[in-house]
Structure 1
Amino acid sequence: MAETIEYEGLIEPNVVVEIGAPAEGIVDAVTVDRGSVIEKGQVLVKLESSVERAAVEKTAKMATFKGEINLQQDQLAFAKRVHQRVGRLAVISAQEKDQAATEILLTTHRLEKARENRILAEFELKKARALLAHRTVKSPLPGVVVDRYVSPGEYVNTQPLLRVAQIDPLRVEVIVPAAMFGKISPGMTATIIPELPRYGERTATVTIVDRVIDSASSTFGVRLTLPNPDRQVPSGLKCLVRFESGEPANRSSEMTLGTGIDPAQN
């Protein structure tokens, strides 16, 4: 018969990230503070970017210029008309005919060069926009700001700017006795009971089961994923992790390595 087994666990953030800047510079603005709830892609820090903005404006203008292309197109059309007139005149020398044909060829090359320059200008614009984007630091994940390390006016290089934790989902870490090895597997569910009763009982799913048993304590680790869509459950809480075991467990191991709670006494 199934038996309820409880162990002490700890609710932790799913991911904790130290966010840095992709480029060095002076901090222009910090849009969040410790405790701020953030979304993925949200702007967190802005670096001073007047030079980069000017570069974008310049390259954007250059990418729109068509004067050189239009000039070479007109010259090519003129060279072709000249070549046609020369070809109809019997008194024109072979050298003059060759010169007219050569002008068409040279103008064609100049037109190709002008088009290549236009393409290069578009690439320069993409590069300038990328450099400008590096002056804005965005959140790589949704979560909360744990720590803020910088303020406007500070110079930053390789140091972290903010510490961000993802709390949806949360993860639950629990140590269980070796007697439970093989009875807990990824995909199983367990009931999580936070130490603060107002958060109620919640269901988590086993995602990782250690394959190595610690010989000193005769235990192994289990990680569970706990959905937290409303982000109301804080990380750092202790909890009880309640498993439904398909086989009776060793009660002495539970008393020693679990919570000390014998379900049979409840």
Structure 2
Amino acid sequence: MLSVKRIFSYSSLFIVASAVTASGGQDGSYEGLIEPSEVVNVGSQVRGILEEIMVERGDRVKKGQVIVTLNANIEKAAVNLARARVEFSRRKVLRNRDLYKKKLISIHDKDEMETELRITELQFREAEAKLELRTIHSPVDGVVVERFLGPGEYVGEEPIMKIARIDPLYVEVVVPVEKFGTIKKGMKAEVRPEPPLRGRYRARVIIVDRVMDAASGTFGVRLELANPSYYLPAGLKCRVVFPSG
């Protein structure tokens, strides 16, 4: 099972089209929807009991940050055992190196001890890797949207929490087919969030749909909106103004 199930914000723009109008306002603006650029369901590659969850709903997280640990008593014991075997095999090889030089042991015995050392080293690395799987890191910079499980609960294939990446944000807009050809990838547009959040923000067109929705006579456009301060939340409606001409 993958430790992270990524759900990219590739929501169908035809679904968005049914939720927002494609008719332009008097100022030439179009209604849009501000969404996370990525939503991630965070799970575990291994089954076990949740020992600690370091974040709550609404917390900001950084990519690579430890957010969950599973009970790892067995894995820690396995690491200690594997380490002891490596140390023993290493001492054994060192002790018998001089004996080989003096021809007191055969090349076969020497090879056997060195092979045993390599095997124990691999077993040690394997034990460390299994222990590392009991610690879960955030796969993205973002905010915790929802927690599904808590400490003491058993985790299997279900997600533990959901994290949304809101820098950058995506702005999904549907516009009438008459605008096709005038809106191009890379062009800038102005985004005006709905009250109570106000202001005007610059966004860049990153996707222009090449397939129209014949029923509504519209096509979809996605813009990327920088949000380094996390000031703008996702889920807002907005107005988008594209440059004229």
- TM-score tier, shorter chain, comes to 0.7 to 0.9
Q: Determine which structure has more spread, i.e. the larger CA radius of gyration.
A: 1
Task: Give the superposition deviation at 1:197.
Answer: 5.5
Distance in 1, matches of 2:111 and 2:175, equals 72
Match of 2:226 in 1: 227
Q: Output the CA distance in 2 between the equivalents of 1:224 and 1:74.
A: 70
In the alignment, which residue of structure 2 is the partner of 1:72?
96
Which secondary structure does the structure 2 equivalent of 1:244 belong to? coil
Task: Give per-residue Cα distances to partners, 1:153-194, cap 9 Å, x unaligned.
Answer: 111110110011000000000000000111111101101111
Name the residue aligned to 2:61: 38
2:48 counterpart residue number: 25
Q: 1:149: how far off?
A: 0.6
Q: How does 1:30-179 map to 2 (within 5 A)?
A: 30-65=53-88, 66-79=90-103, 107-179=106-178
Please identify which structure carries the higher helix content.
1
Cα distance in 1 for residues equivalent to 2:58 and 2:95 = 60
Q: Taking every aligned residue pair, what percent have the same amino acid on both sides?
A: 44
AA at the equivalent of 1:52: E
Superposition map of 1:181-200 within 5 A: 181-196=180-195, 198-200=197-199
* Distance change >3 Å, CA 244–CA 9, structure 1 → 2: same
Q: Separation in 1 of the partners of 2:145 and 2:198?
A: 21
Task: Provide the C-alpha distance between the structure 2 equivalents of 1:71 and 1:78, rounded to a whole number of angstroms.
Answer: 12
Number of residue pairs matched by the alignment: 218
> For 2:38, which of 15, 38, 51 is the aligned residue?
15
- Alignment partner of 2:94: what SS? helix
Instruction: Give me the whole-angstrom Cα distance separating, in 2, the residues matched to 1:119 and 1:196.
Output: 65
Q: CA deviation at 1:5?
A: 2.7
**Other structure's SS at 2:184 match:** coil
Q: Which amino acid is the alignment partner of residue 152 of structure 1?
A: P
Measure the CA separation in 1 of the matches of 2:69 and 2:198.
37
Query: Residues 121 and 203 from structure 1, CA distance in 2 versus in 1: closer, same or farther, beyond 3 angstroms?
Result: same
SS in structure 2 at match of 1:71: helix
Q: Is the 8 A contact 1:72 1:110 kept in 2?
A: no
Paired amino acid for 2:96 = Q
Deviation for aligned residue 1:70: 2.4
Task: Please tell me the root mean square deviation across aligned C-alpha atoms, in Å.
Answer: 1.4
SS of residue paired to 2:151: coil
Q: 1:240: which partner in 2? A: 239
Q: Tell me the equivalent position of 1:85.
A: none
**Displacement, 1:75?**
2.3
Structure 2 distance, partners of 1:227, 1:70, is 59
Structure number with the bigger relative contact order (C-alpha 8 A, sep ≥ 6) is 1
Q: TM-score, normalised by structure 2?
A: 0.85
User: Hey, what's the Cα distance between the residues in 2 that align with 1:34 and 1:179?
Assistant: 43
